[in-house]
């Protein structure tokens, strides 16, 4: 009897503490920012997942894992901010309407981030996670691509198709997974792995041309350019690259490298001529933000694909 009472009391305290932390998080966010951000929990969850992946892959120290957790959660939070709150803050005149729209948007992002975390919670590696994401994308885009064993067949526009074949091998293994569809430029993004090296393949459906990108691309508002931010501790070029989109293909136009080393970065478009970059400098306690115009000094002209 006493043992059951103590156990039930302990379970109640633990459950109540979880609810209290949840309420405290909403109170702090709404009290300070005056925004009802429903997606802050999944953002922290993704930070914890990033730390778990880093621990299993690189076995760093506890301090580094703490930084990875903070960086992952902050980048997820920046994603929510740029996609959900910033547009409504700029475009909605009524403060009440902006608050409601932002709350609804954050709820949608909550489900999106939680679904991504759920899909990749029990995968073996990055390629396995990408294949799970592909399964969901094939359901949402049934006429875009089909999977037949090791072959991924992507339809072209207005007619035709192209096939990406995976290779299973002890060395030189290669996989392609449907990752995203960029409707603004009618292009398909594939998550590509060669052994344990990750890149992205962009396929223009109008001409069937492919280009290998070091990071996930973001399309400019005028649909004339892409940007990739390839920053990490190892195996990255550590540069910001802008790519020109033409009917003949996609070519790397200009690149920029920061003076200090960055551990991670996410680039988005503020407008057609300005980039906004959320980055974490190596050894820094937290992320920072900068804006770079395409006309700013420091860019280097780059040719080729």
- The pLDDT score that the predictor gives to residue 264 is 86
Using CA atoms of 105, 73, 79, 212 in order, give the dihedral in degrees to the nearest 10: -140
User: Could you tell me if 77 and 40 are in contact, meaning their C-beta atoms sit under 8 angstroms apart?
Assistant: yes
**Max CA-CA distance within the chain?**
77
| 271's tokens | 């407008």
First to last CA, the chain: 72
- The pLDDT score that the predictor gives to residue 251 is 95
Quickly count helices (H) and strands (E) in the chain: 6, 15
What does the DSSP assignment read for 259-275? Answer: SS-EEEEEEEEEETTEE
- The pLDDT score that the predictor gives to residue 5 is 79
- The pLDDT score that the predictor gives to residue 88 is 57
User: Could you tell me if 51 and 74 are in contact, meaning their C-beta atoms sit under 8 angstroms apart?
Assistant: no
Across the chain, which has 305 residues, the per-10-residue mean pLDDT values are 79 85 74 71 79 73 84 81 65 59 70 69 69 87 92 94 92 91 96 89 95 94 95 86 94 94 90 92 82 95 68
H helix or E strand, kind and range, residue 50: helix 40-58
Residues 257, 240: Cα–Cα separation, whole Å:
6
Residue of 203, 199, 201, 211 lying closest to 186 (CA atoms): 203
- The pLDDT score that the predictor gives to residue 65 is 84
Residues 64, 77: Cα–Cα separation, whole Å:
20
| 12's tokens | 């109640």
Question: How would you label 278-299 residue by residue, b for 16+ Cβ within 10 Å and e otherwise?
Answer: bbbbeebeebeeeebebeeeeb
> Which residues on neighbouring strands pair with residue 262, listed in sequence order?
281
Beta strands in the chain (DSSP E): 145-148, 151-155, 161-165, 174-182, 187-194, 197-204, 210-213, 218-219, 225-230, 239-246, 249-256, 262-271, 274-281, 288-293, 300-301
pTM: 0.67
């Amino acid at each position: 009897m006493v043992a059951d009472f103590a156990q039930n009391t302990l379970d109640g305290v633990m459950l109540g503490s979880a609810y209290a932390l949840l309420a405290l998080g909403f109170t702090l966010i709404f009290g300070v920012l005056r925004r009802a951000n429903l997606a802050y929990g999944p953002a922290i969850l993704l930070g914890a997942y990033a730390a778990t992946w880093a621990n299993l892959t690189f076995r760093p120290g506890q301090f580094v894992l703490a930084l990875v957790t903070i960086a992952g959660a902050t980048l997820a939070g920046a994603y929510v901010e740029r996609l959900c709150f910033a547009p409504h803050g700029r475009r909605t005149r009524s403060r009440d309407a902006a608050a409601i729209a932002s709350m609804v948007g954050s709820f949608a992002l909550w489900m999106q981030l939680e679904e991504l975390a759920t899909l990749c919670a029990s995968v073996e590696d990055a390629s396995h996670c990408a294949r799970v994401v592909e399964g969901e994308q094939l359901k949402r885009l049934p006429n875009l691509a089909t999977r037949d064993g090791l072959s991924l067949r992507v339809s072209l526009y207005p007619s035709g198709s192209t096939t990406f074949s995976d290779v299973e091998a002890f060395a030189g293994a290669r996989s392609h997974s449907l990752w995203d569809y960029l409707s603004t430029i009618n292009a398909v993004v594939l998550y590509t792995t060669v052994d344990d090296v990750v890149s992205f393949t962009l396929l223009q459906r109008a001409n069937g041309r492919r280009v290998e990108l070091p990071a996930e691309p973001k399309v400019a508002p005028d649909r004339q350019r892409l940007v990739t931010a390839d920053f990490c501790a190892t195996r990255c070029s550590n540069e910001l690259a802008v790519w020109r989109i033409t009917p003949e293909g996609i070519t790397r136009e200009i690149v920029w490298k920061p003076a200090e080393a960055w551990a991670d970065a996410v680039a988005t478009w503020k407008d057609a001529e300005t980039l906004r970059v959320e980055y974490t400098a190596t050894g820094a306690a937290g992320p920072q933000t900068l804006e770079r115009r395409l006309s700013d000094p420091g860019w280097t002209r780059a040719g080729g694909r």
